């Protein structure tokens, strides 16, 4: 089912539009399909803490993408209510739509910066206003969607006073065709029945060795891991949650691009970790 990506400046009306679209889809589809809104409200951090830390924001974007991937299915609509201001991130979501063979639509809440700043100032403190510094930084980093980019198409632009363009949205969400799959997003048959077992075993072995190395207080340093002569270079402490995320990302990628020789899995995983860390 379709993925609706809401994007816009902070306090530009994204959440209001997300709920309007949710009600539209519920009314149009009835009980046939579920509608899920995914937002960054899951974070225990305040908005200012989340968006003033590059590390925390990157983790949050990864969590949002994981939630979208988990929820998208044949009988579920997903609306992603978050800034989505980075065009590279919108491209990742586009690739996810291609992989899952579903349609997607980008909804841009094109609210003037001055209006968004006024709305932010009117927010009660308990709902977490953006600080002037965080607000200005997000405005400067915002990369406006462009319908000429395939990952921003179809694009529906909404101004604050616009009524919801129901027909345009329903055509884009329900009647459009999914983006055609290509080699990078097509699942390929695994080389052998043992491939998944080896992929799981070898990556888990590498992660275990890294965590053991860190527990000995040897940072920074290089870790010699099982199954390869290559070493993982650690310049800082890596949490178990980070390692789990890197491992899951590598496994997902390797399922789509199987390695011919299972004995090289550890080597490729080390290369992946070194480039990610």
- pLDDT surpassing 90 at residue 214: no
The confidence band for 187, taking pLDDT boundaries of 50, 70 and 90, is: very low
CATH topology of domain 3-175: Rossmann fold (3.40.50)
Say if residues 259 and 217 touch (Cβ distance below 8 Å): no
Asked, as a colleague might, if the bond just before 203 is cis with ω within 30 of 0, I would say no
Which of helix, strand or coil describes residue 223? strand
- Beta strands of 62-123 (E only): which ranges? 76-81, 104-109
Bridge partners for 81 per DSSP: 6, 39
Q: Tell me what pLDDT residue 188 has.
A: 45
Q: What CA–CA distance (Å, rounded) separates 48 from 70?
A: 27
Q: How far apart, in whole angstroms, are the C-alpha atoms of residue 84 and residue 90?
A: 7
Q: Where are the domains of the chain?
A: 3-175, 195-276
The whole-angstrom separation of Cα 41 and Cα 139 is 20
Residue whose pair of structure tokens reads 């048959």 in the numeric block: 189
| pLDDT of amino acid 134 | 93
Specify the pLDDT at position 272.
Answer: 86
**Does 181 score more than 70 pLDDT?**
no
Confidence of residue 223 (pLDDT cuts 50, 70, 90): confident
Using CA atoms, how far residue 92 sits from 185, 197, 236, 253, in Å, is 11, 28, 27, 13
Q: Does residue 254 have a pLDDT over 50?
A: yes
61-112 pLDDT per residue, tens:
988 988 898 888 777 899 999 999 999 999 999 988 888 888 899 999 999 9
Query: What are the structure tokens assigned to 51, written together?
Result: 């968006």
Q: How far apart are CA 58 and CA 61, in angstroms?
A: 5
68 vs 187: which has the higher pLDDT: 68
pLDDT the model gives residue 155: 95
> Structure tokens of 245?
């995320």
pLDDT band at 7 (very low <50, low <70, confident <90, very high): very high
Q: Report if pTM > 0.85.
A: no
Q: What percent of the chain has pLDDT over 70?
A: 92
For all residues of the chain together, what is the average pLDDT? 86
186 Cβ neighbours under 8 A, 6+ residues apart:
256
Q: In what order do the strands lie in the sheet with 34-39?
A: 34-39, 76-81, 3-8, 104-109, 155-158
* Residue partners of 13: CB distance under 8 A and separation at least 6: 109, 111, 119, 158, 160
pLDDT value at position 180? 67
Cβ contact 157:108 at 8 Å: yes
pLDDT score recorded for residue 166: 94
User: What pLDDT score was predicted for residue 89?
Assistant: 92
pLDDT score recorded for residue 184: 47
Indicate if the pLDDT at residue 185 is higher than 50. Answer: no
225 pLDDT above the threshold of 60: yes
> Number of H helices and number of E strands within the chain?
10, 7
Neighbours of 189 (CB within 10 A): 7
The predicted pLDDT at position 215 comes to: 84
Residue 189 has pLDDT above 50, yes or no: no
Q: How far apart are CA 59 and CA 47, in angstroms?
A: 14
Classify residue 82 by its DSSP letter: S
Q: What is the pLDDT of residues 131-149, one digit of tens each?
A: 999 999 999 999 999 999 9
CA atoms within 13 A on the CB side of 276: 18
């Amino acid at each position: 089912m379709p993925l609706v990506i809401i994007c816009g400046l902070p306090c530009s009306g994204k959440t209001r539009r997300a709920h309007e679209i949710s009600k539209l889809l519920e009314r149009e589809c009835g009980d046939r399909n579920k509608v899920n809104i995914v937002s960054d409200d899951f974070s225990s951090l305040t908005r200012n803490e989340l968006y003033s830390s590059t590390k925390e924001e990157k983790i949050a974007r990864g969590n949002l993408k994981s939630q979208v991937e988990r929820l998208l299915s044949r009988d579920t609509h997903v609306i992603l209510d978050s800034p989505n201001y980075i065009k590279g991130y919108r491209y990742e979501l586009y690739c996810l739509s291609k992989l899952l063979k579903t349609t997607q639509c980008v909804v841009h809440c094109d609210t003037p910066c001055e209006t968004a700043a006024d709305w932010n100032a009117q927010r009660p403190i308990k709902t977490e206003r953006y600080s002037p510094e965080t607000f200005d930084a997000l405005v400067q980093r915002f990369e406006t969607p462009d319908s000429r980019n395939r990952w921003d198409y179809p694009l529906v632009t909404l101004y604050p006073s616009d009524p919801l363009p129901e027909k345009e949205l329903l055509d884009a969400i329900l009647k459009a065709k999914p983006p055609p799959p290509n080699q990078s997003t097509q699942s390929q048959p695994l080389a052998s029945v043992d491939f998944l077992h080896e992929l799981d075993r070898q990556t888990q072995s590498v992660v275990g060795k890294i965590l053991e190395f860190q527990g000995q207080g040897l940072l920074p340093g290089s870790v010699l891991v099982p199954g390869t002569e290559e070493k993982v270079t650690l310049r800082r402490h890596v949490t178990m949650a980070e390692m789990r995320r890197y491992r899951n990302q590598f496994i997902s990628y390797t399922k789509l691009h199987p390695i011919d020789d299972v004995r090289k899995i550890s080597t490729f995983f080390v290369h992946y970790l070194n480039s990610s860390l």
